[in-house]
Amino acid sequence: MLLFFKEYKIFAIVFGVISIIIVTIIYKTLNVYKPLPVYQPEMVNAELVDSTIQSQRKYHKIGDFKLINQNGKTITQDDYKDKIYVADFFFTTCQTICPIMTSHMADVQKEIMTDDEVMLLSYTVTPEIDTVEQLKRYANDKGVNDAKWNLVTGDKKQIYELARKSYLAVKSNGDGGPFDMIHTENFMLIDKKKQIRGFYDGTKAEDIERLLDDIEILKEEK
């Protein structure tokens, strides 16, 4: 009788392990695709969102824009039509988080270099300093590929409103002029419908990996 229970115990353990493996395989097979959330202003830290839209629960999209890139070319939303893209806010003279963010954006550029569906877009928060010439020097220094990644400058009010009313990603300074802003480490993933589908810490390698994974998930959407 003791031998029977001993053999039964071994069988139960083996059966349990096999069952777990089978269930895990089935789960992964059935859950390959999991849609990303569509972020609305109400879902985001209020410090990063303009007060006029903080309670908005649906229909949020990136607004139209018209700015100038590192080559002096006018860049609008049409340049990103039917594209998935990653956006951020930076400035070329930043010595804290910007170098890390730019390095990580360059890593993303490397991964999507041959992918026609995906692009990158970086907005300066100090357009009075970051002229076209300054952006070009920065782009050359950081290995920016003009076909994949636009660094844009232009009207500060427009950039400020894009940051806080569209991308929900920049804090208001509050101590200076009406359009002074403090950029964050956020990278934003934007889909082909101009919706925000993810926020990532641009200073963390693990978030960059998650971003790259989410780009692949987003590409599965029709």
104 annotated ligand-binding residue: no
Tell me which residue of 109, 112, 95 sits closest to 218, measured CA to CA. Answer: 112
Amino acid in the structure at residue 34: K
CA distance 133 to 69: 10
Q: Please, where are the H alpha helices in the chain? A: 2-30, 98-112, 132-142, 156-161, 205-219
Q: Exposed, middle or buried: residue 90 (CB in 10 Å: 0-12, 13-18, 19+)? A: buried
- Cβ pair 113, 149 in contact under 8 A: no
The alpha-carbon radius of gyration of the chain (Å, integer) is 23
183 annotated ligand-binding residue: yes
As annotated, the binding site includes 94, 98, 183
As annotated, the binding site for Cu cation includes 94, 98, 183
